[in-house]
Amino acid sequence: MNLNTRHLLRLGFAGVISIGAILGTLAPASAHGLSKCYGNSCRGKDPNAMGCDRDARTLTVERNREIKVELRYSAHCDARWARTTALRPHRNYISAWLGSGKVTMKTGVGSVIWSSMWTGPVKACGSSFDSYGPCTHKE
């Protein structure tokens, strides 16, 4: 290989590396915006911590006198979670979960709590300290 051929190969390789570096800096943090997970990789994770709450919308709502239960969905994360809101000030020990709750249940003190996320059709459920709350229909 002569000197000119080697020089052209080096320039070509440097050009490819430069273009890759430029494109890497222009690409978003993830393919799904600012979220840190997508689909099955979101299972069992906190929607707020993963950035999934940023584009969330409520799919369906159920309520009783004590609490409101929402099934929330993020298109950027393609994941769902339950959000439970206490409707009475003295009902501040609440729970939120999806389906059977084995993986997603969260319980705490406060006026709003949300479950961990899951993917696919699920129902959202909630409860207060002394009252088993409603569940949404599966969506």
Q: Beta strands 93-98 and 57-63: pairing type?
A: unpaired
H/E segment holding residue 25: helix 3-26
Return the SS3 of 125. Answer: strand
Question: For residue 20, what pLDDT is reported?
Answer: 43
Please give the average pLDDT of every successive group of 10 residues along the chain, which has 139 residues.
51 45 40 80 96 97 93 97 87 83 86 94 88 84
pTM of the shown model: 0.73
Question: For residue 124, what pLDDT is reported?
Answer: 94
Question: For residue 11, what pLDDT is reported?
Answer: 45
Question: For residue 88, what pLDDT is reported?
Answer: 82
At residue 23, what is the residue type? Answer: L
Separation in Å, CA 119 to CA 71, 78, 98, 132, 138 = 12, 7, 10, 24, 12
